[in-house]
């Protein structure tokens, strides 16, 4: 690969750091979620910080809420645990069970998000990507395979429309 390819390939993933953060996510999740080990995990974030107020990231145009998102196919449940980018702590878990929500769908515009309406009073929009640059705002973790699995689960077993 020439210099041009190196310049425009995108950032290299530090897998050692990514794996360490994935292990921290697992430890936090398992600490606050009963039977946490049965859930698969991804990192997500939300701009709907009114519902997830643990560790807002200040100093940006928007307030971002970092989330550890777990899902269990057997129980058709998604669990959201708010955290901070350095994974030094987390808030309480919120459970979304497929049979108890008003609706859920994947929204493609303006951002790709998984939207869950637990009731008529509010919603949670979970944004999730394989990797995000800004470690001051987001957890550094590579999750391409897990994100694909979560997307498949959400679309086929959890979404209501």
Q: Comparing C-alpha atoms, which of 121, 109, 117 is closest to residue 161?
A: 117
Distance CA 95, CA 140 (A): 24
Could you tell me which residues come within 8 angstroms of residue 28 by beta carbon, excluding any fewer than 6 positions away? 68, 81, 83, 87, 89, 90
Distance CA 49, CA 84 (A): 12
Tens digit of pLDDT for each residue in 4-45?
Answer: 433 444 567 899 999 999 999 999 999 999 999 999 999 999
The pTM of the full predicted model, rounded to 2 decimals, is 0.86
Domains and CATH numbers, the chain: 13-158 (2.30.29)
Token match 């929204």: residue? Answer: 107
Tens digit of pLDDT for each residue in 72-117?
Answer: 999 999 999 998 888 999 989 999 999 999 999 998 877 789 999 9
**Cβ proximity of 109 and 127 under 8 Å:** no
Distance CA 6, CA 100 (A): 49
In sequence order, what DSSP letters do the residues of 73-111 get, joined into one string? TTTTEEEEEEE-TT-S-B---EEEEGGG-SEEEEE-SSS
């Amino acid at each position: 690969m020439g210099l041009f390819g190196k310049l425009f390939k995108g950032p290299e993933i530090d897998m050692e750091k990514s794996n360490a953060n994935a292990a921290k996510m697992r430890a936090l999740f398992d600490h606050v979620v009963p039977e946490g080990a049965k859930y698969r995990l991804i990192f997500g974030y939300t701009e709907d910080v009114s519902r997830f107020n643990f560790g807002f990231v200040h100093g940006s145009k928007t307030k971002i809420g970092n989330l550890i998102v777990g899902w269990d196919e057997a129980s058709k449940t998604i669990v959201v645990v708010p955290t901070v980018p350095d994974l030094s702590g987390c808030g309480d878990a919120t459970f979304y069970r497929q049979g108890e929500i008003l609706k859920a769908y994947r929204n493609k515009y303006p951002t790709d998000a998984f939207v869950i309406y637990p009731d008529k009073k509010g919603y949670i929009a979970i944004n999730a990507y394989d990797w995000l640059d800004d470690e001051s705002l987001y957890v550094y973790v590579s999750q391409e395979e897990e994100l694909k699995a979560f997307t498949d689960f959400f679309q086929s077993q959890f979404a209501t429309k």
